[in-house]
Structure 1
Amino acid sequence: MSTPNMDENAKLWFGVQLEVTQKLLAAEDRKLEVMHHELSGQHGTLSGLRRLANSRLRMQYDQLNKEYEDAVTGLLRGNTLARVRSLPSMGLKGVHKQRSSLFHAMNIQAGPVKDGDQPDAAATKQLEENVTEIGAVGAEDTHDGLTFARGRVQSGSLSHPDSVPMRVAKLLREWTETYSYDFRDERMMLPFKDITQACASYMDDVKAAVLDIQRVLFKKLNALEQYEAKLKRELELQIKTKNETMSAGKSKPDRNLFDLSQSPQEVAAQLKVIEFERLSAIGPEEFVQTFVRGDQKDEYTDMREAHNVETYVEWFNRLSYIVATEILRTEKKKHQVKAIEFFVQVGHHCYKMHNFNSVMAIVSAINFASVSRLKKAWSKVPGKILSLYEELEWVLEPRSNFKNYREEVASLMLQQDTCVIPIFSLMVKDMYFTEESSKKRLANGDIDFDTMWRLGNRLADFMVLKNAKCKQPRNDDVVRYLKTVPVCSEYELFKLSIESEPPAKEDKERTLGRLKRLETQSQRKTAEKDAK
């Protein structure tokens, strides 16, 4: 049997669905009006087909309208109406909303009652009379797997898959699993706890469902806390390793990557381990947070944000500098040639493993001025290695908005059980311009759902990538080295390059001038860092 409190909660939860349905009805009605206007002024052999299309759309509208009316009827079966949401388009006068709704937070008005309006006694009385009449229709009825008589549950289970509490549980599960980082904010966690406690007061099946939702959410949030603590330790170890190297008067560590692994395939596999670890830690909501800027940030000053997007971008830059540093720290020319060969092969194995982010980082490093100017070293690189490098450059060709890369990724995403690491900076750029391509609101203040759908599709593609299964054996020594080895700055790399291969006479002035500018920039950055 239901209680007044249960009926009241059911009305509040189902109100969100009613608001969505109302908006869909309004949109379909506007489409019908536009179509009717267009068809009324057109003639021709296709007029019959147009009338048929119009007729079918009208049937869809009527069916949706009927479902809406049925839903409202089911909502209003109860006798307690103190906190019922406003219900437009049914000939009923609305009452004041006692709490904000999901759509109210987005400035979508679901009914005729405006914010700040107070209900008058006559309106409330009329609403109660209408509801009493609706609740009295039929001595017995069935709705959502429940049997009602005079607005009261006579039989059935609130744990039915289509019952309101189970629908709420499904919504919470989808939200917490997809956008779990939203709940790091206490303003989200408090109402989440209230809703789950209310759901848990129903049947045992509903209680079990919400307890499982809580367990999964808390597990994800705990994993995020541990990951962030791990990143902090990695940064501290980077600084410690660099300080120890400098304090010992050394210009480089005692060992390099080739001491740990002579296999380009092994290094490529460990790069994918790191890449996927970074990628899978990002929540889709972090992209939205990243795009918040200017006066909007004032609204989010007390929000606890994750910074995994920035961390992943920093990893890309670090990998590029690792590659350049490993090439230029070698003292002999033949060792530079071997290093170039090695990293081209690593890049090619990354490509075969669908790790495009590492491929881009490696190719970017090889294109650094400090590496590309080593003409003597490049002249001794075998033709086979140069062919592999040209293949990588073809995949990353930026013309036509990275057409080659995009086509290959699109093809890979159609395959099952394929772990693809995208070019992350390009993904961020796509999402940014998708969001910025049009205003979030229409001229009348309504949400532009076309824009939201485009951004939603981008985020959905990202979720497919981050939730893939990546099964690569882990070599802790190689992973630790890549995460913590000290790297040279741009100035230090260019200086090492000049020491390894002095510039020709015709390029000497230009090359030394660039070195001087890099030195000035490096000194300024160091001074700014010390000032902080």
Structure 2
Amino acid sequence: MFAQNADAVNFCREGRDRMFSQLLRLCREWCTSIPHDFRNDHMRTRLNELLGLCSVDQTFKQKATDLQINLRSTLNKLDKYDKAVKNLHKTLSDNKQRPIQSDILERFSMVGVDEILLALADNDLADLGQNRNGPGCSISFYVEWFNRLSSFAATEVLRQLRKKHRVEVIEFLIDVAKECCEIGNFNSLMAIVAGLSLPAVMRLKKTVIEFLIDVAKECCEIGNFNSLMAIVAGLSLPAVMRLKKTHILKLYNNRLYYLSIMEMLIPNLVEYTMSGQRLKNQNLEILQHQLDPSGNFLSYRATMKAAQWRAETVGSTQKIVIPFFVLLIKDLFLLYHSGIRTLPNGHLNYIAFSQISEQLRSVVKWKTANCTFPKNAAVLQYMLISSLYGEKDLLLASFECETAESAVEREQLKKLKNSS
């Protein structure tokens, strides 16, 4: 290219400026999208050589200088992030309560598209979150953040020895998950729901039943009679009613309370049926829809599209979109490996790579969204440095909250104690 424009026939200022502009644009896109490539001294030297050829006048020289300054700033930011995360892991492994940065592990913006592409080249998706020292370490840190948030939700529930407090924690976490869904933070939403869905939490029949009773009361008070009747019908099933030790019988033994519910229900139920309206309990159904894996997470994908549309709407104040990261990587992995990347003539499959680039373009857009929510450093620090229960400790804590009732649970508890 330089030789052609240096020829006397082809040489002209307009052609040279056009070529240098295109080269600068290429270098700028490269430095912005794949900054990890320039952590190597050799690559930085070659980039400086290329930019030096483009610096033919003061205007191009200034543009090249600005590009180099921005690249150095980006690389310094990445280096600081890596050091901060590694120091955090050392802090957690040493179990020391030291001050830490309040804005590191949870940052989706630190995951680079170049890291994603390198991770996609691996043939085993299970190894994705194992690399802490290579070029894809930000991905492994972000996957660990998801796992930590999930374990945190389960641990906080099982730390509460009183049933009333466990119910309050579950209700609070569901409200947090609902808020995450409303603002577009689907990764944290899925992490919280995954933690509440662990066997150690789900086996707490007394806690879950009391929570459902509280939900039924709330449904009655707000006029959501469809959900009220559905919950009462489920709690009235023989498999649930046989649990005499659980406190569900209080709801049915207290006739005055039950009659007061029916007194409120009957006239309103007629009005509800006549109007044909369908009221829903948002707190529960939003979570149920997002968790539903049927149709390849069809409900989640529909909600995700709505969040994208909302973020792209002119004048919208809600620009944040944080996807369910593991599912995003899985989609990209299948897209990368399902098609032919190289054609028989040696050319790249443009259609296949265009589909991948379209997904990655969305990732870049989501990463650059400006977060207007204030950070609560104390809460985030507690989430990052508080000790969490492992899988075995979660089950042991679960059996401390509610004793083993069936023979299977008693055998499971015996094995857990013997292995301790």
TM range (shorter): 0.7 to 0.9
1:466 paired with 2:361, answer: no
1:235–1:484 contact (8 Å) kept in structure 2: no
CA offset at residue 411 of structure 1? 2.2
Structure 2: distance between partners of 1:474 and 1:243: 23
Map Cα deviations across residues 17-63 of structure 1 (whole Å, 9 max, x no partner): xxxxxxxxxxxxxxxxxxxxxxxxxxxxxxxxxxxxxxxxxxxxxxx
Q: In the alignment, which residue of structure 2 is the partner of 1:373? A: 203
Structure-to-structure mapping, 1:124-523, within 5 angstroms: 135=9, 151-153=10-12, 160=17, 163-200=18-55, 202-240=56-94, 242=95, 277-293=106-122, 305-381=135-211, 382-383=214-215, 384=218, 387=281, 388-415=283-310, 416=312, 418-512=319-413, 515=416
CA offset at residue 395 of structure 1? 2.5
Structure 2: distance between partners of 1:434 and 1:157: 39
Structure 1: distance between partners of 2:344 and 2:26: 30
Q: In the alignment, which residue of structure 1 is the partner of 2:249? A: none
CA offset at residue 513 of structure 1? 6.4
CA offset at residue 304 of structure 1? 5.7
2:396–2:413 contact (8 Å) kept in structure 1: no
Classify 1:157/1:394 alpha carbon distance in 2 versus 1 (closer, same or farther; 3 Å). closer
Structure 1: distance between partners of 2:409 and 2:363: 47
1:363–1:393 contact (8 Å) kept in structure 2: no
Classify 1:356/1:341 alpha carbon distance in 2 versus 1 (closer, same or farther; 3 Å). same
CA offset at residue 274 of structure 1? 6.4
Greater per-residue helix proportion: 2
Q: Any idea what SS the aligned residue of 2:210 has?
A: coil
Classify 1:203/1:507 alpha carbon distance in 2 versus 1 (closer, same or farther; 3 Å). same
Structure 2: distance between partners of 1:513 and 1:451: 53
Letter in 2 for 1:279: F
Structure 2: distance between partners of 1:510 and 1:274: 42
Gaps of 5+ in 1: 1-8, 12-74, 80-134, 136-150, 246-270, 524-532
Q: Any idea what SS the aligned residue of 2:389 has?
A: coil
Letter in 2 for 1:285: D
Q: In the alignment, which residue of structure 1 is the partner of 2:272? A: none
Structure 2: distance between partners of 1:401 and 1:304: 31
Classify 1:167/1:321 alpha carbon distance in 2 versus 1 (closer, same or farther; 3 Å). same
Classify 1:189/1:467 alpha carbon distance in 2 versus 1 (closer, same or farther; 3 Å). same
1:278–1:308 contact (8 Å) kept in structure 2: no
Structure 1: distance between partners of 2:53 and 2:6: 20
Of stretches 409-418 and 214-223 in structure 1, the one that deviates more from structure 2 is: 409-418
Classify 1:435/1:476 alpha carbon distance in 2 versus 1 (closer, same or farther; 3 Å). same
CA offset at residue 514 of structure 1? 6.5
Classify 1:244/1:208 alpha carbon distance in 2 versus 1 (closer, same or farther; 3 Å). closer
Of stretches 211-220 and 333-342 in structure 1, the one that deviates more from structure 2 is: 333-342
Letter in 2 for 1:409: M
Map Cα deviations across residues 90-148 of structure 1 (whole Å, 9 max, x no partner): xxxxxxxxxxxxxxxxxxxxxxxxxxxxxxxxxxxxxxxxxxxxx3xxxxxxxxxxxxx
CA offset at residue 410 of structure 1? 1.5
Structure 2: distance between partners of 1:198 and 1:395: 53
Structure 2: distance between partners of 1:175 and 1:347: 37
1:182–1:188 contact (8 Å) kept in structure 2: yes
Classify 1:244/1:195 alpha carbon distance in 2 versus 1 (closer, same or farther; 3 Å). closer
Structure 2: distance between partners of 1:403 and 1:233: 39
Classify 1:274/1:341 alpha carbon distance in 2 versus 1 (closer, same or farther; 3 Å). farther
Classify 1:306/1:218 alpha carbon distance in 2 versus 1 (closer, same or farther; 3 Å). farther
Classify 1:429/1:325 alpha carbon distance in 2 versus 1 (closer, same or farther; 3 Å). same
Structure 1: distance between partners of 2:332 and 2:367: 16
CA offset at residue 203 of structure 1? 0.6
Aligned-residue sequence identity (percent) comes to: 28
Letter in 2 for 1:391: I
Q: Any idea what SS the aligned residue of 2:78 has?
A: helix
Gaps of 5+ in 2: 220-230, 232-280
CA offset at residue 499 of structure 1? 1.6
CA offset at residue 359 of structure 1? 0.9
Structure 2: distance between partners of 1:412 and 1:187: 42
Structure 2: distance between partners of 1:376 and 1:152: 83
CA offset at residue 453 of structure 1? 0.9
1:176–1:217 contact (8 Å) kept in structure 2: yes
CA offset at residue 507 of structure 1? 3.4
* Number of equivalenced pairs: 340
Letter in 2 for 1:284: V
Q: In the alignment, which residue of structure 2 is the partner of 1:266? A: none
What is the RMSD computed on CA atoms of the aligned residues?
A: 2.8
Map Cα deviations across residues 154-177 of structure 1 (whole Å, 9 max, x no partner): x6695x4xx211221111111111
CA offset at residue 294 of structure 1? 6.8
Map Cα deviations across residues 327-374 of structure 1 (whole Å, 9 max, x no partner): 111122211111111111111111122111111111111111100000
CA offset at residue 400 of structure 1? 0.8
CA offset at residue 183 of structure 1? 1.3
Letter in 1 for 2:287: L
Q: Any idea what SS the aligned residue of 1:380 has?
A: helix
1:356–1:422 contact (8 Å) kept in structure 2: yes
